[in-house]
Amino acid sequence: MTQDLKDKVVIITGASSGIGAACARLLAHQGCKLTLAARSVDKLEALARELPAETLVARADMTAPADIEAMIDATLARFGRIDILFANAGIYVPGEFGDGDIDALTRMLAINVDAVLRCAHRVIPQMQAQGSGDIVVTSSISGFIDVHWEPIYSASKHAMQTFVHTLRRQLAGDGIRVMSLAPGQVANALWGFHDAEDIARVSAGERTHLTSEDCAEALLYMLSQPRHVTIRDLVILPQNQVNI
């Protein structure tokens, strides 16, 4: 029997586009109540208007700890609980480390690692008090292999994998599941795909990329499992991704 997600309160970071927006659309149709968090309020409000769900729009810069605190506080004030944290916000900076912009690279670590830690740390006491909860982190295939053309991005996702695996063991007795969703190449704005025809070409046609909707379906699968089942890591790859 799968878990019913109706009325579950979900925080989605990085919800203004890509995987975050696709997950918001899918979870809204499952009856979830959503906090949509990102820097782009206009995009969040446009998304909220199209969703058949109770939503809270939270402007949150994941490099600003005060924004993360405000996002959690606003969710609790509005909904009274937090059932699911989908720590999805992330950025990508590839290239040779020696030639890279060190400020951009350390900012990537702040968003891909530090922000996830802060979000999880803030929701854990609430989940422990209610005796249940799910924390899902958007990781990457780069967290499972060493990708030489993206050393700091790969390092950030390796960090997330270790975090998920160890935190899961710490919280297992509290009824809290900790899980990693790790996609391969995804055709969305983060990777420079904006046109629907281009997305269809590389996903349904060439099959070298996933879509954001593929990732949303994977998240739904993870969250829908009965409480005694934890999908610790779910790695999904496009059929024809051959560069790893």
Q: Give the pLDDT confidence of 69-94 residue by residue, as tens digits.
A: 999 999 999 999 999 999 999 999 98
Nearest residue to 119 via CA among 244, 10, 204: 10
Q: Starting at the edge strand that comes first in sequence, how are the strands of the sheet with 233-236 ordered? A: 55-59, 33-38, 9-13, 84-87, 133-138, 176-183, 233-236
User: For residue 223, which phi and psi values (nearest 5 degrees)?
Assistant: -75, -25
Q: Is 213 exposed, middle or buried (0-12, 13-18, 19+ CB in 10 A)?
A: middle
Task: Provide, rounded to the nearest whole percent, the portion of the chain with pLDDT above 90.
Answer: 91
pTM above 0.85, yes or no: yes
pLDDT digits (tens, 9 = 90+) for 139-188: 999 999 999 999 999 999 999 999 999 999 999 999 999 999 999 999 99
Instruction: Please give the pLDDT value at position 53.
Output: 96
Q: What's the mean pLDDT in 208-234?
A: 97
Is residue 1 pLDDT above 70, yes or no?
A: no
Q: Residues 26, 32, 37, 42: is their CA dihedral positive or negative? A: positive
Residues 244, 238 contacting (CB under 8 angstroms):
no
Average confidence score pLDDT of the chain: 96
In the chain, helix, strand, coil percent, each to 5? 50, 15, 35
Helix (H) or strand (E) segment spanning residue 166: helix 151-171
Query: Hey, what are 160's tokens?
Result: 């997330």
pLDDT value at residue 234: 98
- pLDDT for position 164: 98
| Average pLDDT score over residue span 210-215 | 97
The DSSP secondary-structure symbol of 110 reads I
pLDDT one-digit tens code per residue, 111-140: 999 999 999 999 999 999 999 999 999 999
Which residues does the annotation mark as catalytic?
153
State residue 205's pLDDT score.
93
Sequence-distant (≥ 6) Cβ neighbours of residue 4 within 8 angstroms:
none
Instruction: Tell me which amino acid residue 38 is.
Output: A
- The DSSP secondary-structure symbol of 31 reads T
Query: How far is 156 from 164, CA to CA, in rounded Å?
Result: 12
Give the mean model confidence (pLDDT) for residues 26-44: 98
Mean pLDDT of 35-62: 97
